[in-house]
Amino acid sequence: MASKKIVGIIMGSSSDSRVMHDAAKILDQFKVPHEDQIISAHRTPSRLDTYAKHAEMSGFKVIIAGAGGAAHLPGMIASHTMIPVIGVPILVYNDKQLKKSNSTKFSAFGGLDSLLSISEMPTGSPVVTVGINKAANAAIYALKILANENSTIKRKLKNHKFEQHSGVIIESDELKKRGLSEFVKKKFK
Ligand code: RP5
């Protein structure tokens, strides 16, 4: 596939990067080039317009925008561009500390704040919204949009669906063979 970046991944803070990495992983798996940036709607407001112009000049076909809390980024970007925006509501992860720790910080309402902020855009500037922290789904949705014009991506998506189907059949056969008690013991040991 060509190396021209066709998807923009943006996030409101470096603390969103761990969640947004899930989107990058899927796009990488499908060999779809993407550009990743931090654009904060409240800390760098002047960059919103600049980024939207940059995205259009670059020929991005989709923008995936993740933000937590009041989560203005996806909606603000959508209001600045014709490019479809997929919003990822983030239940904030604190990975900003120099020393990596497993401790997490949560947005005040467990991500519901960002989910509503992103999905409840007033009529006129829609943002398609995935579930809380579901950056992988945002990437899959982006691929579906791209697949309208790209038969290679469409073929890979069909294969991805087939793999999901086969995965369930394989697990179901094993469950049937072992019985539920043994299956659970093995799967969650
Ligand atoms: C939002 O505020 C960001 O998208 C992030 O999810 C949240 C918290 O940001 P930090 O305080 O961790 O930078 O703008």
CA distances from 102 to 66, 69, 168 (A): 21, 20, 31
What is the reported pLDDT for 3? 85
145 touches 154 (CB < 8 A): no
Query: How far apart are the CA of 157 and the centre of ligand 1, in A?
Result: 32
Which residues partner with 64 through β-bridges?
A: 9, 86
Kindly tell me if the per-residue pLDDT of 119 is higher than 90.
Answer: yes
Contact residues of ligand 1, CB 6 A cut-off: 12-13, 15-16, 40, 67-69, 90, 92, 96
What is the reported pLDDT for 110? 86
Confidence of residue 108 (pLDDT cuts 50, 70, 90): confident
